[in-house]
Every structure is written in C-alpha cells, then in structure tokens.
Chains A and B, each alone.
Chain A
Amino acid sequence: MITRYFPADALTKVVASLADERRVLIPVTQPAVKKSVIFAPFSAGMTVELHKASVAPKEAVLPQCETLLTYSKQKDAEDPSKVNLVLDDKPQAQPTIVFGCRPCDARGFAVLDRPYLDGPFIDPYYQARRKQLIVITQTCPSVGTTCFCHWVGSGPNSTTGSDIMLTAIDGGYVLEAVTEKGEALLAGMKLEDGAPFMDKAKTARGTVEAQLAPAPDLTQAQEKIAARFNDNTFWEEQTAQCLSCGACTYMCPTCYCFNITDEGDGVCKAGRRLRTWDTCMSPLFTREASGHNARMSKAQRMKNRISHKFSTYPENWGGEFSCNGCGRCINNCPVNLDIRAIVLAAINEKGA
C-alpha cells in the first residue's frame, strides 16, 4: 500500500490542496465557554487542528437534514384547475473527504453501509454520497475516559471504514492507504514517500494500543441482551436517569434512523420532502398516526437502543455491533448515562 509523509507544519497546506477539488470536512473547534468540535468544510484561512470531534462525521453521508425531493405545481395558463406536478428527486452529492476523523468515526461508515447499501433496498441518496466519499482517519493519539472502542471490535488503529490512515509521529504525519480509493488519492498527492517513517508510525500506534485497559468479553452480548427483552424491571432501573433527549443518538457515528417530512407546501407553490435525523430515544419515534405508541416509556426506548446496537444489528449483520465505542453518548449525555454500564449489567446476569 502507498504511504506518504508530510511535516507537521504542512498539515493545513495538505488539507488545502485536497480542498481544491473537493469538499474536505475537518474537525473545527467551535469557540464558546463550552467548546465543541464539529466537522465543517475547510475553507481558506482555516488552520487545521485534529481534535476528536464532539459530533461524529456521519453528516458526510447522512446529513442532519437533506432534501430528498422538491416539487412544484405548475398551473396551466388557460385552465387553473389543470396542475402539472414537477418533481426533482436527484440526490445531491459532491466529492467529499472526511479528514482527521478517528477510527471509531470511520467504523461508523461501515456500520451505516450495511443497512443503506447491503440490504434489500439501496438508498440512492446515501449511495451517491458514499461513492464520492474518502475517509482519512487519524489513528488515535490517546485514549479517553469514556473510550471503549476495543470492547466492540474496533480499536485506536482500526482501519474499518477508512480509506487512508493518518498517524501523527514526532514532527509530522504518515499517511497510509487502506483501500483502492485511498491508494488513488495518495498516488496523486505530491508528498514525500512515507515508507521511511512507517516504523515510527507503528511505534506510535503501538504506544496507544498498550494503554488500553483489558476489555470485557462481549461475545455473549447478542444472546444475553436478547434474553433481557421481557425484563422490564431491568430496563426501568437502567433508564431512570434518561431524559429522552437525542444527544446520544445524534452524536453517535452508527445511529442511522431518520424521519421524513414534507414542508413548504403552503402558498409558496413548491414543497420539499426532507429527511432528517431521528432518534429512537424520543417518544415520537414510534408514535403511530393513530396516536398509538409502541414504545410509550423511556425504558422501552432504551431497551430498543441498547438491543439494536448489541443484539439485533449483530443478528442481522454478521455479528458486528452497531456501536463503535467512541463514548460520545456517555460524555455528551446531560446526565452522564453510561452505555457501558448498561451493557455490562445486561450481560452479567445477577450473580454472574
């Protein structure tokens, strides 16, 4: 695989050169008393800093809000009762690079790909974006208190979902292609060959790997969580703190649920069909048109979220968890609800 190297002070220049031809999403610190880091398009004048983002970069393939179609009603000039409906449902996509996300973020793309591309129905909007996406992932330079990627099949150096891996070494960065897409991109970049620096990169990766605390065994999670399905008391106890907001799911790199609404069909003659993020933690998620709600209580909703990530998704998709262990749902939760604790409690049956 092709490798490249560039010195630390060239980081912004490298991103800028990539941004000449495509949209490059980089983690951007949002100044405030409470700082957050959001993926945003690189533009001239920005300085690139590779902080771990507060919000996962799934925006690149699944925007918070996208227009699925626009329609306008064009009236016959002679007979106003004759209306010609004009539809435009072309997916809007542009070549995009996600630059500097973490392995836990990149693994999210692999998790999203399965339902959107590998199932019985291919989502054309997702597909259009995904095809034009290149993911350049930074191997994790440190481990956080809420990180548990290595519990769930990822790790600080996992390449799942990435096209290119970026590793910070003393004085510079090493780029290493993972996929053909990544190869092609690296081949076109006029940068130093990375081969001489690969050893340093591997050392850096190893140092972080070594910091990881031992992971609990989650191999039984799929069955054990499924077995908890009717244990309402358990879910109620685990969910007491939950406020039913959407911080966990919207921050999550693997949550892919959406809502569809039609807007603008007022007197404006044109309307649009929007797809927006939805959250299974909201009571509205399962409220039916009749008013009936399949998951009235937050305990039922939490059961769904945990079960989906650790039991039903693996059941459907070859045993893979739809959780990357990024920990965002823990440290962004207004009440610090810890998904790790719930999963461990669920699989460690009483006394086990």
Chain B
Amino acid sequence: MSVLAGKELRIVGFLCNWCSYGGADTAGVARATQPTDLRIVRVPCSGRIDPLFILRALLHGADGVLVSGCHPGDCHYAEGNYYARRRLEILKQFLPVLGIDPRRFEYTWISASEGQRWQLAVTKFTQQIHELGAAPAFENAEKLIQIADMALTALRPLGTGQHAALADLKKAIVEKLPELDCVIGWQQSYDAAHSAPLFMRKPEDVEKLVWGPLNVNNLATYLPQYKGKKVGIVVKGCDSRSVTQLLQEGLINRDDVVVFSMPCEGTLDMARINQALGAYQHIDKVAYDEAGVSITADGKEHRFCMVEYAQGKCYSCATPGAVLADVRLGTPTPVTGTPATPPELALLDSMSLSERFAFWHTQMERCIRCYACRNACPMCVCRDYCVAESRDPHWLTQEDTATEKFFFQTIHALHLAGRCTGCGECQRACPVGIPILALRQQIARAVAQTFEGYRPGMNAKATPPLMGFTVEENNIKEKDWNK
C-alpha cells in the first residue's frame, strides 16, 4: 500500500493544529474538493516543524512537502510562526544546493476560517508536484565526478607570515600565562611540514609556538570545553569569528578568554600539499619567502606559492585581522574587492539539480561516518550529545547508505544556519576529502541574502537570525507563492 501508482504522488503536509489544520477541516466541512495525494501530519505550531522533518521526507521518498501555519501575527503561540518563517525560508534556499528542486517544498499561511484558501493551496501544490513528477531517489543517483577549480584570486596579498611579530607574541603569552589555565596555539607536528595544536601551560611550552601558513587548525574548537576556566587562544582572522560566535551564543565567557591575534596572510591547503609531496620519509628543510614555501622532502624540493596553494576559504577572506582580540600584534594587509563565490559552491552553482544530486551521491558514498567534520567544527556545541547517534531522538540510522550520510551533512549544515563562520574545518578534517563545506556556504549565502548581509561571528552582541524574527520580513516573500 502506498500512493496510487500513476494517479498520486507522495505529498506530506505539516500543519499547525490551530490555524491550518482547522482550515483544512473547514475546507472539508465545505465539501471543497481536493486532490487526494496529500497526507497531513498535525503539529501544534509551525514553530514545532524542524526543517529536518521536511528534509528527511524529501530524502526518503516524498515528492513534495507542504507546510502551513497561522498567518504571521496570528500565531496561537504568539511567535512560533515568525521563527518558522525564517527557518523554512532558509531551508527552501538550501534545497537547490542538495539537488532538490525547491518547488518540491512550499510553505504558506492559512487560518482556520480559510477553507477555500486551503483548497486552493492543496490543489495548486499538488498540481505543481505533478508537473515536476516523481522525485528522483538519492540512492539511485548516477555517478558524477567533478572537481572544484582552485585557480582563485585573493582579496589581499597572501604570504607566509615571516614578518609576523612571533617573538612579541611569545612574550605577551608568557606575561599572561600565570593567570591562565593554558594558552592554545600551534606547534610543529610529526614533521616540519605539518602543524598541530599546542597547549601552553609553562613558559617553556611557549617556545614551541609557531606562526605561518601551516597553522591550519581553528583552535576555537577547543574553547567550549574550557568554559569556566581562564584560557588564552591565538587566533587567525577566521578563527576569531568562531570565538565571536561562541561568545554570542554564551558558550564561552568573555572574561575567561584572552585572545591573542596576529594578522593572517593565508593558510596552506594541506590536502594539495600532501598530494604534491607524495610518499616521503623525511622533511629535510622548510624554507619560507614572501611568496610561498619550499619544502624539501627526501632530498627533493617542492615549491608552493601561496597564491596557488592556499585553502579555498583564504581567497575570499575579508577578515585577515581578528574581529576581536585582547592582544593584537601587527597590522593586517588591506582587503580590496568583494569576495567571489567559494570554489566548491561555484562548482555546484554551475550544475543542474540532477547533477548536484549525482555529485553528492558520488561524494557521500565514501563517507566512513567518523564525524571528524562535526568534531572539528567549533560551532558543534552538542558535542557528546549529537543527534547523529542518538536513539531518542532517532534521526539517523547507523546504515551506511549515502542517504543517511548525506542527511547527517544536511543536519549539520542546518544546525549551523546563521552560525557557521565558514572556517572550513569540517571539510579540512574529512579524511576522505568530501567537499562538504559547500553545504555550509550555501546556508551562509542564504542567511546573508535573507537577513541584510548578516555574517555570523562578526558581532558578539548581534542576535543570530534564526534565534529571532521581525514582524515584517523584508526579504521573505513567502506570500507570493499562494496568491
């Protein structure tokens, strides 16, 4: 038993109890004939509708999802639909990057008295879905391999940080260290071509501190676990946005964090560096100059120009200096021009919906569910209680299908809506190189477009867009759909 083959498509409705469910009742009482495809899930309020329910339905076989709540202003719970409006709008703008036609999801407002309006909405939406036809199944997507073009132009000169005031920084840290539990920075890792986080507790630890384009990690990830303790952190511009965002959400206290910053001149894309180095046994030499770094491994010299080998995020970075800092050394280079679309997102933009579906399926198949993406993310604050592995709520099974893996990525991306600072740690951490940052970048783009250019992590005092609302939304035109 399922939808009637050839006659119906699978359409799921989420309706608030007080207005729209009543409106559907009113339509029934008026014997207002409607298509039979829709099945309604009753919820108390449109604010109860986690956008993930909609994604789950769309990824698991629904051909369309219709959400309806009370008209803005009429919410039985005063404000639920205002929040819903923002979340549903961001979801709608998120769907295309996944390869899902955004017309498969609509949201509208229908009151308990508007039976006729409900009839029209159902009829129109059902017709819209029938015009689109049955939704393609993610699991059946064909293989598609495409790789982002990394030939990018930076908004500022990229360099290797060789004039950075490292000695001054070390001095400043040593001075502050007595009042701090530790200061988090970077050190050389297993060889001179790789770095790792450094936790400085004693003055001699500070000697290990390094600065330069190998310092790829966003150390803000460690801050929430130190909440309640006084710690210092060394940041690049991008990292400081994560610190700001953590402050905004109250996940760390301003008084407990001492931020040390130096201007960032870009970081290296270690994936491509490692690729170029190939198998080697020993790093003989790492030599920096203004434009890049030369790494000699097993006697062979490899040249990496910053303009060619920087991380994708660095090219469009407009915050080389820290957004906030207690100890600020050096002057950041000026930023000129406007950021271009990030490379992976630009690649997806160039694809059709079905190509994006195929692209993601091809990529997600190799995910091993190690959750390095999540754990490297400074904004993943659920930490040990992520819904990915819980049974109550039971959002994900442990199956290794591409759909389940992809659904997790959409959960992560949606949970980051209005919060992701684009640090790219998720993608960098992925051991199998899945370009998942693009999903977060699309969310960030949707948030910026919808909420007056809002960029997370720029202002600790701002209200995150999805944690608030305005009665009149300037850029949400949801009413256009069901006129």
| Pair B374/A245 contact, Cβ less than 8 Å | yes
Give bound CA distance, A36 to B269, whole Å.
15
Residues of A within 8 A of B433 (CB): 30, 32-36
Residues of A within 8 A of B272 (CB): 33-34
Q: Residue of A at shortest CB range from B347?
A: A33
Report the interface size class on chain A. Answer: 35 or more
Number of B positions contacting A (CB below 8 A)? 56
| Pair A274/B399 contact, Cβ less than 8 Å | yes
Give bound CA distance, A240 to B205, whole Å.
14
Q: Residue of B at shortest CB range from A64?
A: B400
Give bound CA distance, A247 to B371, whole Å.
7
A283 at the interface (CB under 8 A from B): yes
B369 at the interface (CB under 8 A from A): yes
- What 0/1 readout, one digit per residue, does chain B (289-304) give for beta carbons within 8 Å of chain A? 0000000010000000
The residue from B148, B195, B389, B432 contacting A282, defined by CB atoms under 8 A apart: B389
Residues of A within 8 A of B400 (CB): 63-65, 276
Residues of A within 8 A of B275 (CB): 34-35
Question: Which of B9-17, B160-168, B248-256, B422-430 is the interface stretch?
Answer: B422-430
- What 0/1 readout, one digit per residue, does chain A (204-227) give for beta carbons within 8 Å of chain B? 000000010100000000000000
| Pair A65/B399 contact, Cβ less than 8 Å | yes
| Pair A243/B389 contact, Cβ less than 8 Å | no
B415 at the interface (CB under 8 A from A): no
Give bound CA distance, A282 to B197, whole Å.
20
Chain B, 418-452, CB within 8 A of any chain A CB: 425, 427-435
> Smallest CB–CB gap between A106 and chain B, Å?
18
Give bound CA distance, A335 to B188, whole Å.
11
Residues of A within 8 A of B124 (CB): none
| Pair B397/A30 contact, Cβ less than 8 Å | no
Residues of A within 8 A of B344 (CB): 33
A244 at the interface (CB under 8 A from B): yes
B131 at the interface (CB under 8 A from A): no
Interchain Cβ contacts within 8 Å, total number: 153
| Pair B199/A250 contact, Cβ less than 8 Å | no
B267 at the interface (CB under 8 A from A): no
A194 at the interface (CB under 8 A from B): no
| Pair B431/A335 contact, Cβ less than 8 Å | no
A178 at the interface (CB under 8 A from B): no
| Pair B431/A54 contact, Cβ less than 8 Å | yes
Residues of B within 8 A of A144 (CB): 279-281
The residue from A52, A240, A247, A279 contacting B429, defined by CB atoms under 8 A apart: A247
Chain B, 339-362, CB within 8 A of any chain A CB: 344
| Pair B431/A251 contact, Cβ less than 8 Å | yes
| Contact status of A334 and B199, CB under 8 A, knowing A34-B433, A263-B398 | no
| Pair B431/A32 contact, Cβ less than 8 Å | no
B137 at the interface (CB under 8 A from A): no
| Pair B281/A246 contact, Cβ less than 8 Å | no
| Pair B371/A335 contact, Cβ less than 8 Å | no
Give bound CA distance, A187 to B248, whole Å.
69
B42 at the interface (CB under 8 A from A): no
24 example contacts (A-B, Cβ-Cβ < 8 A) are as follows A32-B434, A33-B272, A33-B344, A33-B433, A33-B435, A34-B271, A34-B272, A35-B275, A35-B433, A55-B432, A142-B281, A145-B190, A243-B429, A244-B384, A246-B370, A247-B372, A261-B398, A263-B399, A274-B397, A279-B370, A283-B384, A284-B389, A331-B274, A334-B425
